[in-house]
């Protein structure tokens, strides 16, 4: 995360300097494009890095980072070699749309919880599949140069559905049924112990709430005993 923040700060500083002081010749436009690409690539690779930190879905994490790196390299090669051919930009676009799809799937995967209900997991799987489908359709549109109005209307409708499903997943998680109740005895310093009736989505969440409540009162929790 610190590396992403640092890269964004550096690229923002470079972009501001060029915008305020530059003459906007070809080289400065390329530098500006490079700073923008670095920022976008950093953000796209972040969910993959989060999965690696969590040691989850390692193949997906590396695929996300690799696709992002490929899109960045192709973009840089295109702008710095004066290769303005349609084929070159189609390669960039194809790598970019699949990098975005992988980033979306990685971000959703990093937020999956072991106790997620079946409905949340179904929405996750549908969203992941829809993201890949959108990337495939967008890539096809670029390479085949499709001009059908109905095709792009359908593509836009699927994109809206995709956004809806991305938003729906955390909402379903929040609506995941009534909280469980737990009775817990806390050993405290300096005044002995206290039993509390706690509620939460799971025991860890309920326990964290109880600890915060006690420590806000100036007491230190030294031991926890779950009663029921």
Same domain, 94 and 199: no
Span 22-48, mean pLDDT?
80
Q: What percent of the chain has pLDDT over 70?
A: 83
Q: How far apart are CA 95 and CA 69, in angstroms?
A: 9
| Token pair recorded at residue 195 | 């039993």
Tell me the mean pLDDT in the region 98-112.
93
Domain boundary residue, one of 174, 195, 211: 174
pLDDT single digits (tens) 130-142: 999 999 999 999 9
pTM above 0.75, yes or no: no
Same-domain pairing of 84 and 160: yes
CA-to-CA distance for 3 and 125, rounded, in angstroms? 30
What's the pLDDT tens digit per position in 180-201? 677 888 888 876 788 888 876 6
- The mean predicted confidence, pLDDT, of the chain is 84
DSSP code string of 22-89: ----HHHHHHHHHHHHHHHHHHHHHHHHHHHHHT-SHHHHHHHHHHHHHHHHHHHHHHHTT---HHHH
How much is the pLDDT for 182?
Answer: 79
26 and 55, same domain (yes or no)? yes
Whether residue 104 sits in one domain with residue 207? no
110 and 207 share a domain?
Answer: no
24 secondary structure, DSSP code: -
Residue-range definition of the domain harbouring residue 87: 2-174
Whether pLDDT at 30 is above 70: yes
Backbone phi, psi, residue 180, to 5° = -80, 155
Confidence band for 4, pLDDT divided at 50, 70 and 90: low
Check whether residue 94 and residue 186 sit in a common domain: no
Average pLDDT rounded to a whole number, residues 31-39: 83
101 and 61 housed in the same domain: yes
Query: Do 96 and 209 have their domain in common?
Result: no
Question: Cβ(134)–Cβ(159) under 8 Å?
Answer: yes
How is residue 169 written in tokens?
Answer: 């997943």
Range 212-216 average pLDDT: 81
200 exposure class (CB count in 10 Å sphere: 0-12, 13-18, 19+) = middle
The number of folded domains in the chain is 2
Rounded CA separation 225/208 (Å): 13
């Amino acid at each position: 995360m610190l590396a992403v923040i640092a890269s964004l700060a550096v690229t923002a500083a470079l972009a501001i300097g060029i915008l305020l002081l530059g003459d906007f010749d070809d080289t400065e436009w390329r530098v500006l494009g490079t700073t923008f690409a670095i920022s976008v690539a950093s953000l796209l690779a972040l969910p993959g890095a989060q999965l690696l930190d969590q040691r989850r879905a390692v193949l997906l994490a590396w695929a996300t980072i690799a696709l992002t790196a490929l899109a960045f390299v192709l973009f840089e090669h295109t702008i710095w070699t004066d290769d303005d051919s349609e084929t070159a930009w189609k390669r960039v676009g194809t790598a970019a749309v699949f990098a975005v799809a992988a980033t979306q799937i990685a971000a959703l995967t990093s937020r999956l919880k072991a106790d997620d209900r079946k409905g949340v997991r179904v929405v996750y799987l549908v969203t992941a599949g829809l993201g890949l489908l959108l990337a495939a359709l967008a890539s096809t549109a670029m390479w085949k140069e499709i001009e059908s109005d109905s095709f792009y209307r359908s593509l836009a409708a699927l994109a809206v559905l995709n956004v809806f499903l991305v938003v729906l997943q955390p909402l379903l998680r929040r609506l995941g049924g009534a909280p469980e109740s737990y009775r817990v005895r806390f050993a405290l310093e300096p005044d002995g112990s206290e039993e509390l009736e706690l509620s939460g989505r799971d025991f860890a969440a309920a326990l964290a709430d109880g600890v915060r409540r006690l420590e806000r009162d100036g007491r230190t929790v030294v031991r926890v005993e779950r009663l029921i």
